[in-house]
Amino acid sequence: MLIGKPPAIPSSEITPKATYLNRRNFLAGAAIAGAAAVTGVAFHDLADLVAPALTAHANAKIDGLQKSGFSTTEKETPYKDVTNYNNFYEFSTDKYEPAGLAKNFKTRPWTVTIDGLVKKKQVLDVDAIIKMAAPEERIYRHRCVEGWSIVVPWVGFSLSELIKRADPLPKAKFVEFTTLYDPKQMPGQRTSVLKWPYVEGLRMDEAMHPLALLCFGLYGEVLPNQDGAPLRIVLPWKYGFKSAKSIVRIRFTGDQPMNTWQQSAPGEYGFYSNVNPNVDHPRWSQAKERRLGEFLKRPTLMFNGYDQVASLYSGMDLKKNF
Ligand code: MTE
């Protein structure tokens, strides 16, 4: 994510200096610098295409995965890119840093509070949630508002499975997701780059849409910490920032929740944040995107190509409701 003002603390001060310099040395490798010189493409753009091979598959396997009819057959983004190039501001504003900084993040014990306008207010152990329904592998396109995209085999099941069990009251119109607040473990929360904890929200019909995924794994394994362990949501038709990571609370409300990015920069990030090539970000076009690991940009698709959600927004002006 990009914000108009620079982050309160430069990433060089958050990371141990040696780690920071090593990574910079890697990125300043001759290949990238040479390519930048030849093509005239900004150095930063090229560096974004190459994630260092820092993380090998390291997490426990998830058994009994069902294949999902929602999966794309497009080429998956390499595991090392999905797990080393992350937006997770609780750890750092630098995409290469959450992998290292989240290494010792404690994801057990972990509970999720379900409250607000529901019949069954409860505090659930994350492992009880994970066992609620059969795990599916869903290969989704995932488009970041910054203009890059990835294809990830996520593991989880429809968020609606959990919502049905919570039994929302008829007056519940929205669902709010809150990330853990623990500045001792999450160094980014010791800065004021965003207002903490990170909060996201969905309209009830969006949350109940079968594409909305409650996610606890990727590549057939338990979710790596930097990707939002132990539990996150994944909304493939929306810009990536709607997909809140490491959630501890799911609250049902009558009014539209205020999400963190809308609060931070209301002119740039709205509540809906549907992927929409026809509505530019005030500071850049959204018409094209670059798949991580590829050089040429490709056109961005309305709803990121997930046309099955279009009926949720019929009659709405999506330029106003961006
Ligand atoms: N959730 C929390 N709690 N904190 C964050 O900074 N970043 C968002 C989203 N969820 C973010 C978050 C953004 S901007 C994106 S693009 C995706 O997570 C990135 O998910 P990934 O790192 O697994 O690709």
**pLDDT value at position 18?**
36
Q: Rounded to an integer, what distance in angstroms lies between the CA atom of residue 266 and that of residue 270?
A: 6
Does the pLDDT at position 127 exceed 60? yes
What value does the mean pLDDT take over residues 208-234?
A: 98
b/e for 107-121, b at 16 or more Cβ within 10 A?
beebebebebbbeee
What value does the mean pLDDT take over residues 203-217?
A: 98
Does the pLDDT at position 11 exceed 90? no
Distance from residue 37's CA to the centre of ligand 1 (Å): 32
**pLDDT value at position 86?**
98
pLDDT by residue (tens digit) across 263-320? 999 999 999 999 999 999 999 999 999 999 999 999 999 999 999 999 999 999 999 9
Whether 153 and 139 have beta carbons less than 8 Å apart is answered as yes
Does the pLDDT at position 31 exceed 70? no
Helix (H) or strand (E) holding 234: strand 232-234
Q: Rounded to an integer, what distance in angstroms lies between the CA atom of residue 204 and that of residue 254?
A: 10
**pLDDT value at position 55?**
56
Q: Where are the domains of the chain?
A: 11-313
Neighbours of 53 (CB within 10 A): 12
Q: Is 198 in the pocket of ligand 1 (CB under 6 A)?
A: yes
What value does the mean pLDDT take over residues 143-147?
A: 98
Distance from residue 90's CA to the centre of ligand 1 (Å): 10
CATH of span 11-313: 3.90.420.10
What value does the mean pLDDT take over residues 52-81?
A: 89
Q: Which atom of ligand 1 is nearest to the CA of 197?
A: 3
Distance from residue 30's CA to the centre of ligand 1 (Å): 30
Distance from residue 234's CA to the centre of ligand 1 (Å): 10
One-character DSSP codes across 193-224: SSPSSPEEEEEHHHHTSTT-EEEEEETTEEPP
**pLDDT value at position 58?**
81
Q: Which atom of ligand 1 is nearest to the CA of 261?
A: 14
Q: Rounded to an integer, what distance in angstroms lies between the CA atom of residue 162 and that of residue 129?
A: 8
